[in-house]
Amino acid sequence: MKNLFATLRDYDPGMLPALAETWRIDSKGRADDDMVRQLQATMLDQETAEAVWDNLDEPARAALQLLVSSAQSRMKVGQFERFYGKVRKLGRAQIAREQPHIAGQTIAETLYYRGLVGEGFDNVDGNLIGFIFVPTDLISALPLHKTSYQTLDEGADIAVDELPALGVIDAVDEVSRADTSVVDDLATLLALLQARPAELVGERIAPDSAATITPYLLQRDDNRLNFMLAVAISANLIATQDGGARPKRDDARAWLEAARARQIQTLATAWLESASYRDMWHIPGLQPEDSGWSYDAAAARRAVMNLLADLLPDHGWVSINDLIDIIKEFEPDFQRLDGDYESWYIRNDAGEFLTGFESWDAVEGSLIEFYLVGPMHWLGLVDIGEDVARLTAYGRAFLEISDWPQPDEPEAGIDVQNDGTLLASRRVNRFERFQLARFAHCLQTGDPYVYRIDAASIQRAAAQDIQAKHIQSFIIRHLEGNPLPLPIIKLLRNWQAGAQTEVTLESAIVLRTTSEESLDKIFAAPAFRRFLGARLGPMACAVRPDQWEPLRASLVENGIDVDVSRLREASG
């Protein structure tokens, strides 16, 4: 930060008399510039600096010790104020009246008005952040050795550069191991969107569209579905337009054809850098408002991942609560670089605003936990249990602790059954299954996926300009010399011939007569004909729905016997 001369020049001139009194300088008749130069010389004198140091109380000396021990001998304004209070910016008359240099309302105020700390700004990740600092050349003049670190208050550990080690937990219950099913489910999602774009509501898939998608996923979780949508958009696999989402053909194909490890890496990187996926908007119990404050989701994510890289062991379980506590103590402002805990508009489910540092656990703590049990677990980066987490091989690579794994992935073909069903295991190349899903109906998700070609799937394929010859070639590639199953041959042949036959199965009540003449007479009589439907043959016809009882009564009235025993047997 700044040296003492620059710091003194930045002070309000109204502070100079108070500084002169503190450092025992005669200020009468001196110009401001002369005062600044005299203060600089006096404050850098070690004997004078030690005398001023000795006049501080122990909490004030501890605060200076903490500040000097911090990186670059500085601390963000909000962070410093949480421990040592705010600094009122007083004018010359107020300073003369209230004398904050003698007894400030806070420790921070006492240090500031005695010239021991300054306030400045620096650019951090593109943001202008305010810092409290000790002038660089004043540090060597202060007798810092006279205060023991044991006297620092409870917040002092925050300045230690080295983060503490997390204890490794041996016994863990209710383990949920991470997997790479997000790859399989995203392949399914891309195939479904290719056939029918999903409607979007803000950052989420509309409920009606989600209801048609989730039955085909390995993990049927709407939160995870919206996460997949967001990372696919960030990875350029999905495009959004006019409130809908559909695959970007070339980019999606390249991803689908890649190895599973590379697919995970692509999605994890897309999440890390995503500006469109705002994690806090997906945390149960939090209701952030969409306007009135600035939120950089990617910056917050990167900050926490850097902390996790330092804190998490390569192997072994750690307590999520302990991890959150350490981040709260050492780097609480990871997403609020200015330390401002008042201006964000976030409510809980009860409608209460979560403001002030006292809401840190509800907001920042919940966000860190969500990173672990949500996106990082979904991406296969961490195993989780009850309040515990553990890095996987992919997780260690993501945090740059090790190289990305490249496991052997022997590919399997699609198994074509004699009854026309097609089985695709998770080892099948994702692009192959994507192609299959475009013209076949998924009967069952899992390992394997079970597909069948039917009239509806053929019509869906036709809408995507997929021809019968394309489907036939695709299936033959997976037959390994075996003949094409007859059910598939018939379907494709009918399709190629232009047949679009549809049938319906219905239950109906049928009137039967003992002779053709009897049915002719009944049809000829208006009293009976209004109850009848289509003629089904020379001696049978359909009865209109819910009209059999009026028909029976009319027939009996005209002297015609009616037997309803079979009707009762059917209904009974």
Question: In this predicted structure, what is the pLDDT of residue 504?
Answer: 67
C-alpha–C-alpha distance, residues 333 and 412, integer Å: 48
* Cis omega (within 30 of 0) for bond into 448: yes
Q: Residue 305: count other Cβ atoms within 10 Å of its Cβ.
A: 17
* pLDDT at residue 340 tops 70: yes
Q: Is the CB of residue 260 less than 8 Å from the CB of residue 185?
A: no
Q: For residue 500, how many C-alpha atoms fall within 13 Å in the half-sphere facing its CB?
A: 7
Cβ(111)–Cβ(30) under 8 Å?
no
- What does pLDDT average to over the chain? 88
Helix 430-439 × helix 181-195 angle, to 10°: 30
Q: What pLDDT, on the 0 to 100 scale, is given for residue 330? A: 85
pLDDT tens for residues 267-319? 999 999 999 899 999 999 999 998 778 889 999 999 999 999 999 999 999 99
pLDDT confidence tier of residue 146, bands split at 50, 70 and 90: low
What average pLDDT score do residues 118-141 get? 87
Residue 44 has pLDDT above 80, yes or no: yes
The pLDDT > 70 percentage for the chain reads: 95
The order of strands in the sheet holding 388-391 is 318-319, 388-391, 382-385
Whole-number pLDDT of residue 240: 92
pLDDT of residue 503: 62
pLDDT computed for residue 149 by the predictor? 41
Reported confidence tier of residue 154, pLDDT bands at 50, 70, 90? very low
Tens of pLDDT, residues 55-77? 999 999 989 988 888 778 888 88
Selected residue with higher pLDDT from 113 and 566: 113
Q: Is the pLDDT of residue 177 over 70?
A: yes
Q: For residues 10 and 338, which has the higher predicted lDDT (pLDDT)?
A: 10
> DSSP labels for 423-476?
EE-TTB-HHHHHHHHHHSEEEE-SSSEEEE--HHHHHHHHHTT--HHHHHHHHH
- List pLDDT tens digits, range 532-567: 888 888 888 888 878 888 899 888 888 888 888 877
Q: Specify the 3-state DSSP secondary structure of 385.
A: strand
Q: For residue 229, is pLDDT > 60?
A: yes
| pLDDT confidence of residue 570 | 66
- Is residue 159 over pLDDT 50? no
Q: What is the mean pLDDT of residues 185-198?
A: 94
Mean pLDDT of all residues in 119-148? 83
Does residue 160 carry a pLDDT above 60? no
- Say yes or no to pLDDT of 402 above 80: yes
Higher pLDDT, 485 or 266: 266
Per-residue pLDDT at 336 exceeds 90 = no
* Mean pLDDT of all residues in 506-531: 85
Give the best-scoring range by mean pLDDT among 159-173, 228-242, 336-350. 228-242
The CATH architecture one would assign to domain 178-277 is Orthogonal Bundle (1.10)
Tokens 């500084």 appear where? 19
Asked if residues 126 and 116 have their Cβ atoms less than 8 Å apart, the reply is: no
Is the pLDDT confidence value at 151 over 60?
no
What stretch of H or E contains 137?
Answer: helix 136-139
The top-scoring range by mean pLDDT among 140-149, 436-445, 473-482 is 436-445
Using DSSP bridges, classify how beta strands 346-348 and 198-201 pair: parallel, antiparallel or unpaired: unpaired
99-108, 268-277, 364-373, 476-485: range with lowest mean pLDDT: 476-485
Please, are residues 234 and 270 in contact by the beta-carbon 8 Å criterion?
yes
Which residues belong to CATH 1.10.10 in the chain? 178-277
Of 4-13, 89-98, 326-335, 520-529, the range with the lowest mean pLDDT is: 520-529
Mean per-residue pLDDT, 399-419:
89
Instruction: Give residue 496's pLDDT band: very low, low, confident or very high (50, 70, 90).
Output: low
Instruction: Give the mean pLDDT of 468-483.
Output: 85
Structure tokens at 68: 């000097």
